[in-house]
Amino acid sequence: MAKKNAPPAAAAEAGSKPPGKMKLIIVIVLVLLVAVGASIGGTWFFLSKDAPKEDAAHEQAEHAAPVKQPAIYEELTPAFVVNFTQNGRARYMQVSVALMTRDQAGLDALKVHMPVLRNNLVMLFSGQDFATLVTPVGKEMLRQQATASVQQLAEKETGKVTVEQVLFTNLVLQ
């Protein structure tokens, strides 16, 4: 009788091992899923915790950036007229100038010094070479020199640059 009982017991032992291995595999998979989920959850938690600070810093930087004011133009009248001597011949230049700024108060402070500003520009214009002024590059260089001269005077007299650009609204060479 023992022989008849032995094979069913061996069969029961053999049958119980596969379900035990299956349980072990299921437990390992569940542990891995929990670990991956915890990793994803932890990463999301820490990244979302820093995101509001970054967003707030970005919004503050946007609000802190100065808003560009509209341009204000001041025509200098009358136009500047200077004479040159080129190859023994009298030449003339007439320049209409406008100052571009974005600060009305600074412009008003600079207007007090308009005689000095006009004098500096007349001296700058009359010291130019006529042959150079005929070219577009020469005209642009003169405009940049005039801008630098006006900005230097504005900084000296008012404490800030004030004038962004000097523009030539009309330039006649004869």
* CA atoms within a 13 Å half-sphere pointing along the CA-CB vector of 68: 2
pLDDT at 51: 55
pLDDT digits (tens, 9 = 90+) for 108-126: 999 999 999 999 999 999 8
DSSP 31-62: HHHHHHHHHHHHHHHHHHHHHHHHHHHHHHHH
pLDDT band at 47 (very low <50, low <70, confident <90, very high): confident
SS3 per residue for 80-148: EEEEEEECCEEEEEEEEEEEEECCHHHHHHHHCCHHHHHHHHHHHHHCCCHHHHCCHHHHHHHHHHHHH
CATH class for domain 72-173? alpha beta
Give the alpha-carbon dihedral of 158, 160, 165, 171, to 10 degrees: 20
